[in-house]
Structure 1
């Protein structure tokens, strides 16, 4: 059980508080939602989430630990067989507290605490999406029509596609670099010719 806060306990002594929270947790697992005061709900949340974590493990030792806290076979069975499978993919945050307003008699802040049973959508990993996006951009450059490519793009593509072939034929990287350096000179010669046509 989490460390209790300083000051008066709920309902009296620490033993009474443990029993009170265990009964409230049992009711929460049985009915999936209960209405109570805000103070009790905030104290119940860590106890209930810890019990759900035990139930998700599902082994005999966890069942016995849950049973020692709840002290009710039916509630333990509901938690282990019905609630735990619904929360299996959720990594935390098994409960939700919603404010309802104030109680008429003593103006206590009332809330509804409930189990979050909505299905979880697994998040995609960021690293795999970046790796997948990088090859798509280079393929898109190669597959674009030649009309939209500039002369410098064409020379880069030619140099990168011809470099592996040149290595296979026995030429060195220095020859490939020399061919790449000659390309901008050809591009400068072609630029005025394009301007004359316009």
Structure 2
């Protein structure tokens, strides 16, 4: 539950604040975006996101809790059917607040609060697909690597043996050539 804010409440008292937030949330769910003051938008965000979380659960108890807050059954139905299915893969962050400047009459800072109904970012979808592909590739590859690794291990000693023989032959030839070179050096002196 969000921590209560310090200082004066919106409106007059706590009951008026609850009613105002419920009406703002109902308008937000009905119209998908509303224009209000920055303070009201910031107070509405956790309230509305909590109601959307209840809607994502989709059970009867959650529907009754939301109906206790928003009395319009049409809005609650839209919340549970349209909005909850649109944000099913999203883990929070269901709303976006955009500041739009000050109101003409009293110079109050205004903002637009809207529902984020876009699918989760394409980058995250690509990352999930890549992880699935890596997992599916890792399982068959590990089964194939075992026979290939055994074949490679069998080839390595043969190669080493052939290389070792070539190296030994070169060493013997070098040793045989070395005394002849020594004799030639002695003759030159």
TM-score, with length taken from structure 2: 0.70
Residue 109 of structure 2: aligned partner: 109
Residue 92 of structure 1: aligned partner: 92
Which of 156, 160, 163 pairs up with 1:180? 160
Go from structure 1 to structure 2 and tell me whether the alpha carbon gap of 1:118 and 1:127 turns closer, same or farther (over 3 Å shift): closer
Select between 118-127 and 46-55 the one with higher mean Cα deviation.
Answer: 118-127
Residue 181 of structure 2: aligned partner: none
Residue 24 of structure 1: aligned partner: 24
How far, CA to CA, are the matches of 2:6 and 2:54 in structure 1?
27
Residue 163 of structure 1: aligned partner: 153
The runs of 4+ residues in structure 1 deviating greater than 4 Å are 125-133, 176-179, 184-187
Q: Over residues 93-145 of structure 1, what are the superposed CA-to-partner deviations in whole Å (9 max), with x where a residue is unaligned? A: 10011111111112111110000111224342776666658x99xxxxxxxxx
User: Unmatched 5+ residue regions in structure 1?
Assistant: 137-158, 167-175, 190-198
RMSD after superposition? 3.2
Q: Over residues 137-183 of structure 1, what are the superposed CA-to-partner deviations in whole Å (9 max), with x where a residue is unaligned? A: xxxxxxxxxxxxxxxxxxxxxx973424x7xxxxxxxxx55853764
Greater C-alpha Rg: 2
TM-score, with length taken from structure 1: 0.67
How far, CA to CA, are the matches of 1:130 and 1:83 in structure 2?
33
User: Unmatched 5+ residue regions in structure 2?
Assistant: 142-148, 171-189
